[in-house]
Amino acid sequence: MKLKTALTALAIAAMSIASAPASWANTLTFQGVTFDMSINGSGNLVLEMSGTGTGNWTGITSLDAFAINNFGTATGLSLDTWAIHDGGLSNGGSGSGCDFTGNGVCFDKAGFTFTSPFDFSLEIKKTGGAFSLTNGEGNEIGPHLKVCFDPLTEKGNCAGDLLSKNITPGGGNVPEPASLMLLGAGLAGIGLSQWKRRKAGQA
């Protein structure tokens, strides 16, 4: 009886996590900085950065530009006090990092500084459509993010490595909701099997 109760509890817990929105764990950690994406109650996209930069991101204190694509059907994007451009972001070329070519939307702002460790969030608003955290690019799932730090360090290039990665559900570390649903179903099946076996033994 105890085994059945424990397995049932695990199954319920797994399925309750699986029912959570896909935004619960879109994350990526790169060179000591964690990038989190979520959709808030207003339907806007929130990008958070936290951690302490390592490698050639050590000591970075300024974000100059970032670009996103594969973010759903949201239109009329805006970010308070940031300029917005259609296109992508490159390592160098323009002083701002936004190069006005490619897919997606690029945001830039002069003088956006922060203290290390990283700890800030940006809310990207929309006027129409909807943001999605499960759009695909290539073989990956999740919005694609490019980030340019401290562009004026050397010939207008971004400081350190130019981040260009998908922000995926779970970041490769947490099971996706579909996997959790399968886990819950499997645990429920094991519990039912054990219960039937014990019931048959008592008959």
Name the residue among 89, 113, 91, 64 with its Cα closest to residue 161: 91
Peptide bond into 117 cis (omega under 30): yes
* Greater model confidence, 160 or 177: 160
pTM for the whole thing? 0.70
Across the range 132-140, mean pLDDT stands at 79
Across the range 145-173, mean pLDDT stands at 78
Q: What angle do CA 100, 103, 108 make, to 5 degrees?
A: 45
pLDDT beyond 80 at 6:
no
pLDDT band at 192 (very low <50, low <70, confident <90, very high): low
Q: What are phi and psi of 7, to 5 degrees?
A: -65, -40
| Choice among 124-128, 141-145, 175-179 with the minimum mean pLDDT | 175-179
- Which pLDDT belongs to residue 158? 83
pLDDT beyond 80 at 189:
no
pLDDT beyond 60 at 176:
no
Across the range 20-44, mean pLDDT stands at 83
pLDDT beyond 60 at 180:
no
